[in-house]
Structure 1
Amino acid sequence: MVENPVGKVALLGVPFDDNSSFERGAALAPNKIRDVLNHGSLNGATELGVNLRESKQWLDAGDVDISSSDNFIDKIEQRCDQLLAQNTRLLTLGGDHSISYPILKSYRKFFDKITILHIDAHSDLYDSFKGNRYSNACPFARVMEDGLCDRLVQVGIRTLNLHQNEQIEKFKVESLEMRHWPLAQPLVFQHPVYLSLDIDGIDPAFAPGVSHREPGGLTSREVIHLIHQINTPLVGADIVEFNPNKDIDNMTAQLAAKLVKEVAGKMLMGL
């Protein structure tokens, strides 16, 4: 288990969307986001004062090569194991949300205590969806079954049905629905945090490039504020479900790149 601060934060791409329950396209996101980060209008500075382009602790670890959906869990978990064992924390770009499960399988080997902050329009707690237990609608059911975190806090949720409410009760998930927004008090964490950020947690007015547009979501600023306000070390993150095929004038690509910067900056400050 990791006890001492680690030395680096790596951007890791997972161009995989075989478990998308609606429309494909999220596999195109890692390259699109990298293109905006490296060749777009953004500079390297984050709002918290970290300059990614000047940091020797920030690197790009390339993409996970997944040959088929049959081995996606093993491939992702093994690559995460390799990097975490080298004292490198991960900011992973999906891809669909199914990738979070193998990432967290790896993280649990290295962290005794971990809290997941999950920003999403959907709870992703289905036991199975369309016959697929590894659908992008199911990763947090698998996470909770396997005991991969000590606490799961979900923000932005606005699509709950009876089954999902039953799963929330079963797994003792803290589901903070958008109908109760804003939060009565800031989130407070006791353990290191892993952030799983589904782009459709943000309102489609800000992020139209998603497969599941769900009006009534968070603003870009509200999500950035949630990231900045994390009060314990942010030790890992994934940004998932951006679908470039659905984007309008690169609006979502620009937002995803901005979120990468702010998440990376927050992670680097905790090293």
Structure 2
Amino acid sequence: MFNLSNFADANAEPEEAEFVIVGAPFDATTSFRPGAREGPDAVRRASYNFETYVRRHRIDFRDIKVSDLGNLDLGADPAYARETIRDGFAFIPERAIPIFIGGEHSITPPIVAEVAQRRRGKLRAEVGADRYVGSDDDRSGIGVIVLDAHFDLREEYGGTRLSHACASRHILETEGVAGYASIGVRSGDLKEYIYAEEHGVPYHSSDEVQERGIELVLKDALKEVGCEKIYLSIDFDAIDPAYAPGVGNPEPFGLSSWDVRYIVERVAPRAIGLDVNEIAPAFDGGQTATLGAKLIREFIAAKAAADR
């Protein structure tokens, strides 16, 4: 199921790991520039650029147990890829935080579904099945924050409901997702804007971030999500192409790398999972993959520091 290659400083066995990294090299529904399937290995190569010590969080990667399972073999069929991603969770210990490297954004809904299911199962075990209430508005529900230039709220795109352009629509429909907010949106079909308005989908444009500042926008997004535990999905086209040009669907006037690091650091202490996706390394000189590796390391360091 897995093809092995390692993220820097990932030297722990899965059963003892605090964080487990998985590559999801899939881009079969790409609608503009292909190549996100090369993202996982490019991010791994870039990860060797950095020192083990992270001064901002006063933590050293040599003291963090990180495991890298390698890349899933996802084929070219989105339905097969979706099921393979879900099956891959059998190899991720429940105590570990999963970190997926895409691949296009269609990898995210099956990850969210498994993370939500695990959260509900954990609480059932803690409180007892006879006392557990399984509704999405109780404390078992997870929140999802998506950074994306696009709504991804289409019902279908390119002849399939499993397109990367439908990712957030599927997340919103996932059992166990009790809260959602998107940051960085600046592109979408008219029907998606109408859908968001009619269904009360919380989103914050990159224009709003520019005008109000990322601190206030994230504060509002966290209130809208309203959950104790949060899953974070970073579609790299949320970031302005000046910082991250190597993506499948670049959109100017986006978030800065500083904005995204702020979000990562604030969300990480409450996070139960992360994915970074839509990095297409053929379209730049390595800067997007380098930023991807750096943000993953910032996430791990911030989460590990908060848990110690």
Same fold at TM > 0.5: yes
* Matched residue SS, 1:223: helix
User: Equivalent residues in 2 for 1:1-271 (5 A)?
Assistant: 8-38=18-48, 40=49, 42-46=50-54, 47-52=56-61, 54-69=62-77, 70-85=79-94, 87-111=95-119, 112-181=140-209, 182-183=212-213, 184=216, 186-187=218-219, 188=222, 189-230=226-267, 233-247=270-284, 249-271=285-307
By how many angstroms is 1:126 displaced? 0.8
By how many angstroms is 1:50 displaced? 2.7
CA offsets, 1:204-250, max 9 Å, x none? 00111012111100111111011112285111000000001111x21
Which consecutive unaligned segments of at least 5 residues does structure 2 have?
1-15, 120-139
The verdict on how the C-alpha distance between 1:205 and 1:88 changes in structure 2, with shifts beyond 3 A counting, is same
Aligned residue type for 1:77: R
Query: In 2, Cα distance between the equivalents of 1:102 and 1:135?
Result: 12
Flag the structure with more relative contact order, 1 or 2, with Cα contacts below 8 A and sequence separation at least 6: 1
The verdict on how the C-alpha distance between 1:166 and 1:255 changes in structure 2, with shifts beyond 3 A counting, is same
CA contact (8 A) 1:14 1:99 kept: yes
By how many angstroms is 1:64 displaced? 1.2
Query: In 1, Cα distance between the equivalents of 2:230 and 2:60?
Result: 22
* Matched residue SS, 2:248: coil
By how many angstroms is 1:91 displaced? 0.9
Query: In 1, Cα distance between the equivalents of 2:52 and 2:199?
Result: 40
Aligned residue type for 2:34: R
- TM-score, L = length of structure 2: 0.79
Q: What is the RMSD computed on CA atoms of the aligned residues?
A: 2.0
CA contact (8 A) 1:19 1:135 kept: yes
Query: In 2, Cα distance between the equivalents of 1:100 and 1:159?
Result: 19
Moved more, 160-169 or 258-267: 160-169
CA contact (8 A) 1:57 1:268 kept: no
Query: In 2, Cα distance between the equivalents of 1:142 and 1:75?
Result: 17
Percent identity between the two aligned chains: 26
Query: In 2, Cα distance between the equivalents of 1:30 and 1:185?
Result: 29
Q: How many residues align?
A: 261
CA contact (8 A) 1:203 1:216 kept: yes
The verdict on how the C-alpha distance between 1:124 and 1:83 changes in structure 2, with shifts beyond 3 A counting, is same
Which one has a bigger Cα radius of gyration?
2
More helix by proportion, 1 or 2? 2
Query: In 2, Cα distance between the equivalents of 1:29 and 1:102?
Result: 19
CA contact (8 A) 1:104 1:148 kept: no
Moved more, 196-205 or 63-72: 63-72
Aligned residue type for 2:298: E
Query: In 2, Cα distance between the equivalents of 1:202 and 1:16?
Result: 21
Query: In 1, Cα distance between the equivalents of 2:144 and 2:305?
Result: 19
The verdict on how the C-alpha distance between 1:203 and 1:185 changes in structure 2, with shifts beyond 3 A counting, is closer
CA contact (8 A) 1:89 1:235 kept: yes
Query: In 1, Cα distance between the equivalents of 2:199 and 2:275?
Result: 22
The verdict on how the C-alpha distance between 1:222 and 1:75 changes in structure 2, with shifts beyond 3 A counting, is same
Aligned to 2:134: none
Query: In 2, Cα distance between the equivalents of 1:190 and 1:12?
Result: 25
Query: In 2, Cα distance between the equivalents of 1:108 and 1:152?
Result: 13
- TM-score, L = length of structure 1: 0.89
The verdict on how the C-alpha distance between 1:84 and 1:164 changes in structure 2, with shifts beyond 3 A counting, is farther
Query: In 2, Cα distance between the equivalents of 1:116 and 1:205?
Result: 26
